[in-house]
């Protein structure tokens, strides 16, 4: 049976994510855990998150999950969601500078940075369009410019444009989906995005980690 581990470090919509995965995949066993052994035994891994990046990194360190995540991103299909996407980069502007996991080179910026006279409501909350900028197996069956649900005040700026596979406009265009080898990560919440979100999760559950 296809097993997927949802990393539970106390900072994510864990129940919503796990239930959405169960709905998306009929032959899927969802494991919600912070136990390294159970996570590493799964076929694929989901790294969700909401809240502050500094707290996220501190909890991952306390639970001894940083090394587990590094192993998972090297060895199996891996999906980062919202804060779980931001944590993959090098650092964030949050709290005058917060180190992250340095798995994907780049930084995380606040929407107020470099916006000029634009008056944006922060956080960026609600439905918005995602433009697919590169083909990827997780986009299978999802129409171009489909809408997904967002809640965030920071956005990722990867160093390499090639890892961006989806963008969204909010004052400026920003990377809302990135992919590198067996990693796929999204700023939006597929578990809150109804049919399109379930389609993306279903694609993830069938993905072998290759482009």
DSSP-derived 3-state class of residue 120 = coil
pLDDT tens digits for range 4-28: 999 999 988 899 999 999 999 878 8
pTM: 0.96
Catalytic residue among 124, 136, 152, 189: 189
**Confidence band of 115 (pLDDT split at 50, 70, 90):** low
| Backbone phi, psi, residue 180, to 5° | -150, 115
Asked whether residue 211 is assigned to any structural domain, the reply reads: no
Q: What pLDDT score was predicted for residue 118? A: 59
Q: Is 189 a catalytic residue?
A: yes
Answer yes or no: is 29 within a domain.
Answer: yes
Q: How far apart are CA 30 and CA 97, in angstroms?
A: 35
Give SS3 for 151: strand
Residue 62 is part of which domain span?
Answer: 2-206
d(CA 107, CA 93): 8
Residues 6+ away with beta carbon under 8 Å from 4: 21, 25, 28, 29, 30, 31, 42, 43, 44, 45, 46, 205
Mean pLDDT in the chain?
A: 94
Lowest pLDDT segment from 23-37, 53-67, 141-155 = 23-37
- Catalytic-role residue among 28, 72, 82, 136: 82
The enclosing domain of 118 has a CATH number of: 3.40.50.880
In a domain, 99, yes or no: yes
72 is catalytic: no
In a domain, 35, yes or no: yes
In-domain check, residue 31: yes
- The answer to which of 61-70, 102-111, 117-126 has the lowest mean pLDDT is 117-126
Distance, in Å, from the CA atom of 99 to the CA atom of 77, rounded to the nearest integer, reads: 24
pLDDT digits (tens, 9 = 90+) for 94-111: 988 999 999 999 999 999
Number of domains in the chain: 1
């Amino acid at each position: 049976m296809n097993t997927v581990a949802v990393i539970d470090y106390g900072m994510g919509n864990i129940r919503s994510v796990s239930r959405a995965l169960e709905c998306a995949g009929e032959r899927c066993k969802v494991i919600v855990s912070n136990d390294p052994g159970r996570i590493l035994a799964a076929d694929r891994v989901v790294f969700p998150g909401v809240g502050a990046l500094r707290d996220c990194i501190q909890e991952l360190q306390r639970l001894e999950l940083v090394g587990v995540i590094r192993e998972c991103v090297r060895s199996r299909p891996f999906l980062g969601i919202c804060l779980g996407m931001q944590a993959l980069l090098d650092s964030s502007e949050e709290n005058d500078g917060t180190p992250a996991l340095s798995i994907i080179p780049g930084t995380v910026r606040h929407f107020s940075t470099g916006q000029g006279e634009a008056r944006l409501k922060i956080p960026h909350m609600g439905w918005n369009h995602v433009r697919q900028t590169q083909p990827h197996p997780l986009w299978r069956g999802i129409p171009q410019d489909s809408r997904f649900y967002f809640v965030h005040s920071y956005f990722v700026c990867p160093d390499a444009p090639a890892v961006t596979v989806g963008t969204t406009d909010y004052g400026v265009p920003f990377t809302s989906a990135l992919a590198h080898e067996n990693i796929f990560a999204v700023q939006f919440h597929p578990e809150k995005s109804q049919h399109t979100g379930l389609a993306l999760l279903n694609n993830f559950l069938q993905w072998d980690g290759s482009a």
